A and B are shown apart, each in its own frame.
Chain A
Amino acid sequence: MNTSSNAAARVLNGTKIYGEGDTEVKALDGVNVEFQEGEFTAIMGPSGSGKSTLMHCVAGLDTLTSGQTFLNDVSLTDLSDRELTLLRRDKIGFIFQSFNLLPTLNARENLTLPLDLAGQKADSSWMDRVIESVGLGNRLDHRPDQLSGGQQQRVAVARALVSQPSIVFADEPTGNLDSITGNEVLDFLRAAVDDLNQTLVMVTHDAAAASRADRVLFLADGKIVDELRSPSSEEIFDTLKRLDA
C-alpha cells in the first residue's frame, strides 16, 4: 500500500462489526481509503451502507474492530480516550447535520470553542479571515437561537476551520437546510478547500451536494464500491441508481 505522505487520513483494511452471533452486522468490511490533503471528498451510499461509520472511525469518534486508521500518519488504533479527544480538538473539525452550536454561547464564542477548550489563542489574522468568511458581521454576538439555520451552519463550519485542523468531517451539513441556504453552506465549504487548502470529508445523501466535491466515494454493505472524480450530479445519480439495482 502506498504510504504517501500527502494523505491527511487513511484507513487500512478497516472492518467494523456491531453485535455478535446472529445479530452481527458488518458495518465496514475491509475498507481501504485515503483522503488527500486539500481534497474535498464526499461519501455516499444508501442507509446502512457504512458511510457514517467510516467517517466516525476516521474521525476518532469510534474505533475499528480490525484494521487501522491513520491521521497524518499517526495510528488512531492505539490512542487512549484522552489522546483521541485531544486529537479531535487539535487536528479534526466537525460539522454535524444539526445542533452544532451550544445554545448558551454566542456565535463568536461557539466559533472559538475548540481553541478555548485547548486554552489557545487564535492566530488573529487567521481568525479575522474565518470570521469574515462567516459573514455574520455584527450578529456574531447573538446566541444561536437568534440566528437562522443557514447562519448557524456557517458558524459551525467556521468553528470546524478555526483551529486549522488537518481534516474536517461534515455529516450531512446541509441535511436540515433548504436548498438555497444549503448551497450557501456548500459554497462556504468549497471555498475553504479552494482558498484555504482545507481537507474535507463530507457524508451526504444529496447528489447535488456531492457534486461539489473533488471526489465521490460510494459505499454499499460496508465496502467501497465505486469512486468518481469531479462528477456532475447526473453522473452521481446514475451511479447511485446502478448501485441500487
Chain B
Amino acid sequence: MFRLTLRNISRRKLRYALTTFAVVLGVAFLSTSFFLTDRLRDSFDELSADIGSDQDLVVRAAVPQGADRSIRVPIPEQVLEIVNADVPGVKAVAPSIFAFNVQPITIDDEGQLKAVTTVGAPQFGVNYYDTGELTQLFIAEGRPPKWTGPIEDESVIGEFVLDTDTASDNDFAVGNTYQISGPLGNRTFELVGTVNWRSPDENKATGATMSAFETETAQTFLNRNIPLGDFGEIGTFDEILIEVDEGADIPTVQSSLQSLLEGFTDEFTSLFSSFPEELQVALTSYTDIEIEVVDAATITKENEDDFSAVVDVLSNVLLAFAIIAVVVSAFIINNTFSIVLGQRVRELALLRALGATSRQVAQSVILEAVLIGVFASALGLTAGYALAIGGRELLESLGFGNLSGALPIRSRTIIVAALIGVGATVLSSIGPANRVRSIPPVAALRDQPTLTAANLRRRLIGGITIVVVGVAMLLVSIFNDALSTAPQLLILSTGALATFGGVYLLSPVATRPIAHLLGSPIQKIFKVAGRLAKENASRRPRRTAATAAALTIGLALVSMAAVVSDSLKSTVGKTLETSISADLFVSSDGGFGPPTGFSSDLVNDLNLLAGEKPELIDSVINYRFAFSGMAVDDDFKDVISTELTTLSRHMDIDLLEGNIDSPIPENSDGVLLIHADPAETNDLSIGDSVIVNFGGNREANLTIAGIYNNAALLGNWVVDNLTFDKYLPQAQDSFLSVRYNSQADPLEARAEIVNFTQDYPQLSVEDQREFRESAEAQLDQILSVITVFLGLSLLIAVLGITNTLALSVYEQTRELGLLRAIGMTKRQVRRMVRWEAVIIALFGGILGVGIGILFGIAATAAIDTSIVSELSIPMKSVIQYLAISAVFGIIAAILPAYRASRLNVLDAISHN
C-alpha cells in the first residue's frame, strides 16, 4: 500500500504541487516568526543579562506591582550620604540619571532644523561617569563632557557626548555646537566626544540615542532638581549603582544598605520642617518614597520582562497571521483531496474490487496526506529560515539592534511547525478519506462514478443553527455591558468563529444563486463563454464554496479591520467637529515607545505669548499622560492631567454632573474628573474622596469634582496639572492645544505660535484639518500593515483557486474537447475559465466582505466608547476589496485557462 501511495503522489505531481505549496507557505510564515522572535528574545536576554551584570546592587525608589516602571520618581542626592564607598562591602557607587525624550537637533540638507528621531527606540539623556566596573559609557572619540556653567542660563554653552551610531548616522561632528531639546527646554551644547554604550569597542545601544552630560549639568538639564524657590533646589538621581568589594557577600551588603536607608525618609522630611507648608507639600512625592535596594538578578529580570513584552507583541501578531495562513491552507488541502479523490473513484473502486478493504483505501489516503505534510513542513521550515534571514535585516533596520549570527533553531520551532504542517494536512484529509471508505467495488464498472455528495439539507439545518448561535453570541457580547473584558472578548471571538463556521457550512447552498447573480452580467457581455463560466462555477457548489472560503477568511479580516479603522476615523472626525473648540494642536512626532514628551518651556512661552497678544491667542493648555500611572483600589489606570481651569474653552468632555474647574476642597490633595462608566463601576459620585496611589507611597486624597460622558478626548480619569506636578513630577507635556481669539486671523495667530514651536523640530503643529488628516494617515498605515500581513493568506487563497480550476479543467477535458471541436475558439475557452474564476473569487469576496463588515460592527461596538463611538462602513474600500477579489480570480485563472485552451482537441474528445 505504501508503494502505491508513493506512486500515486509521484504520478499526480502537479496536482499536489499547488497543495504542497500552500502548506509550505503557511509553515514558512509560522517558522519565520519563531526564528525571528527567538533571535530577538535571545538578543534581548543577552542585553538584559549584560545590563544586569554591570552592577551588583541598585538603590532606587520602589514602584508597586502593576505600575508602569517609567513613573519611578528619582531619589534625593542626600541618599549618597548613606550609600557610599564607606559602607563596608561597598567598593564603588555611581549615581545615575536617565531621562527620556532628549533629542539632539541638527540641520538637514535643506538647512532646516531636524531633531534626531528613532523608530520607537528610546532617546535617552544620561549623566556621564567613569567609575570602574560601573562605567557604562566609553569614550570612542574626543573626551568626557565637563561642567561649563549653570545650564539653566540660556547663554551657557554646555558639553555633551553622543553615542557613536547616532553621531555617524546623523553626521554629528566633534567640536561643533548643537541644540538639544530636553526636559528643561532647548539648550546649546558642544559635542566634545562620542561614546559607546556598554562596551569600549562597540556601541550596544543600536537604535536608541544616548546623549550624555556631566552629572550636575544633567541634573539641571534633565530636570532632576527639586525647585525650592528661595531655598534653592535639591538634586536627585534616578538610581545609585553599586559595586561591592571582591569577595563580599552581596545579600549581606544589600540588607545592610537597606537597613541604613530605613530612617532616611524621616530624616529627609525633617530637613524641611522649617519650610513653608506649600513647599513641604511640593516635596511630598520625594518625602513619601520608599527606597529599595535590589540586586542584579532583579534588574535583569525586569529588563527581560520589559523586552519580552515587546517581543511577545511582535511574536503574537506574527503567530496570529501565520495561523490564519495555515487555516487558509487547510481549506485548500481539504478541497484538493476531495477533488482528486473524486477523480480517482474508479481507480479506488478497482482496488476495492481487487480485494483492498475500505479501511486500507482510506488509510492510503491518510498516508498520502502524511507524506505531503512531512514534505511540505520540511520545505516550509527551510523556506522559513531563508525568510527569517531577510526578516532579520528588516528588524535591524527598524532599530531592533544587531541580530547577526546564526538564527536559533529551537526544537520547539521544528515540532510546532511539523505538528501544524502535518496536522493541518492530515486533518484536512480525514473528511475525504472517510468518504472514500464508502466507495463500493462495483463503482469501478460504472461510467461516471462519483463520491457521494454531502447532504445539503443537513448542512442547511446545521449551518443555520450555528450561524444563529454565533450571531446571538456576537449580540450578547455587544449589548451586555455587565461583562468584563475577558469573557466579553471570549464570547465575541467564539461567536465570530461560529458565525464563520456556519456561513461556511451554508455557503454551498448559496453558491448557485450567488453564482447566477454574479454570472448574469458576465453572460451578457461574454455570451456563451460567460454562460458556461456561470454554469461551471455553480455546478459543484461544495467545491466552489470551499475554494472561495480560503479567500473569504482573508477578506473578512481585512474588511473587519477596515470597518474598525473607518469607525475610528469617523470618531476622530466627529469628535473634532462637535467637541473640540481648540484651533491648533502641538504634539510630539515620537509615535509609540516610552511616553513621548517635551519641555514645559514651550507651554510657558506660549502662555506668555497669549498674555501679550490676547487679540490673537485666547489660551494654550498642556496635557500629560501617565499610562498605568494612578492606582485606584490597587488597579493602575491611565490618567491624564491638564489645566482644568481653561479646559472647557478647548474641548467639551460632556460634563454630566459637577464642575470642571472647581477649586480644591479643604483636606483634599486635588480634584478628579471621572468618566460615567468607571464612576458607576467604582460607585463614585460628586464630592466623594478617593484615595489614589501614584506609585510608591505617594498616596493622594482626590475629590470627585465632575463626571463626564465623552471619554474619546481624555480617557476615563482626568486630574489637574497641579496634581501631576506634585505626584508625578517626571511626567512631561505630551500635547498642547491652542485656542485663537475668535476675532483673530487664524494664519496670523498660527504664525505667532510657530515662531516658538519652530525651535522644536520634533514637534508637529496641526490645525483641526491637519490633525484629522494625520490621524487618518496613521490609521491607514496600520490598516495597510495588517493587509500586507494578510496578503500571504490572500496569496494562498489565490493558489487555491488556481488549484481548483486546474483540477476542474482536468475533469472537464472531454467537455473542452467537444467545445473546441464544434468551434469554440481558444480565446473563448480562456474566457470561460477566467470568468469562472472571477465568479468563485467574487463569491468568496462577497462572503468575506459581508462577514467582515458584520465582525467589524461587532468589534466596533465591543471596543470601549472612549476609543470608538461612531460606526462607519467604508463603502469605497468594500468595493475595492470586491474589485481586488475579481482581479485575484483573473490572476488565478491565468495558468488553468492557458492549459485549457491548449488541450489537443482529438485527445480531449477521447479522454476518459
Q: Which residues from chain A sit less than 8 Å from chain B, CB to CB?
A: 56, 61-62, 81-82, 85-86, 88-90, 92-94, 96, 99-100, 102-105, 109, 113-114, 116-119, 159
Contacts and interface: CB of A to CB of B under 8 A. Distances in A.
A81 B826 contact: yes
Interface in B810-824: 814-815, 818-824
Contacts of B821: 61, 88, 94, 96
A85 B818 contact: no
Given A96-B909, A104-B536, A105-B535, A85 B826 contact: yes
A82 B828 CA distance: 11
Contacts of B822: 88-89, 93-94, 113-114, 117, 159
A183 to B, nearest CB: 23
Nearest to B538: A104
A89 B906 CA distance: 16
A168 to B, nearest CB: 11
A56 B528 contact: no
B464 interface: no
B8 interface: no
A85 B815 contact: no
B825 A85 contact: yes
A116 B527 CA distance: 7
B311 interface: no
Interface in B484-536: 527-528, 531-532, 535-536
A89 B909 contact: no
Contacts of B539: 103-104
A186 to B, nearest CB: 21
Contacts of A118: 823
B828 A117 contact: yes
A93 B820 CA distance: 12
A94 B824 CA distance: 13
**Chain A CB within 10 Å, residue with most, of B527, B822, B828:** B822
Contact of A85 (B531, B820, B906): B820
A89 B823 contact: yes
B527 A119 contact: yes
B826 A82 contact: yes
A56 B909 CA distance: 12
A159 B814 CA distance: 17
B905 interface: yes
A114 B818 contact: no
Contact of A56 (B531, B823, B906): B906
Interface in B783-841: 814-815, 818-826, 828
B824 A85 contact: yes
Nearest to B911: A99
B226 to A, nearest CB: 85
Contacts of B536: 104
A102 B819 contact: yes
A28 B178 CA distance: 94
A52 to B, nearest CB: 9
The 9 closest A-B pairs by CB, nearest first: A89-B823, A104-B535, A116-B528, A88-B823, A85-B825, A117-B823, A94-B821, A117-B824, A117-B528
A81 B905 CA distance: 11
A67 B480 CA distance: 85
Contacts of B909: 96
A119 B831 CA distance: 15
B814 A85 contact: no
Interface in B514-566: 527-528, 531-532, 535-536, 539
A159 B822 CA distance: 9
A114 B905 contact: no
Contacts of B815: 99, 102-103
A104 B532 contact: yes
A113 B905 contact: no
B804 to A, nearest CB: 17
6 contacts: A85-B824, A94-B822, A102-B819, A105-B531, A105-B532, A116-B531
A139 B544 CA distance: 29
Contacts of B828: 117
Contacts of B825: 82, 85-86, 89, 117
Given A85-B823, A85-B825, A100-B818, A61 B906 contact: yes
A61 B532 CA distance: 23
Nearest to A145: B448
Nearest to A93: B822
Contacts of B819: 102, 113, 117
A113 B814 contact: no
A205 B14 CA distance: 39
Contacts of B824: 85, 89, 117
Contacts of B528: 113, 116-117
A88 B817 CA distance: 13
Nearest to A160: B822
A77 B61 CA distance: 97
A99 B814 contact: yes
B822 to A, nearest CB: 5
A202 B594 CA distance: 87
A99 B527 contact: no
A58 to B, nearest CB: 13
Contacts of B818: 96, 99-100, 102
A61 B823 CA distance: 10
Given A82-B825, A118-B823, 10 more contacts: A62-B906, A94-B821, A99-B818, A100-B818, A102-B818, A102-B819, A103-B815, A104-B536, A113-B822, A117-B819
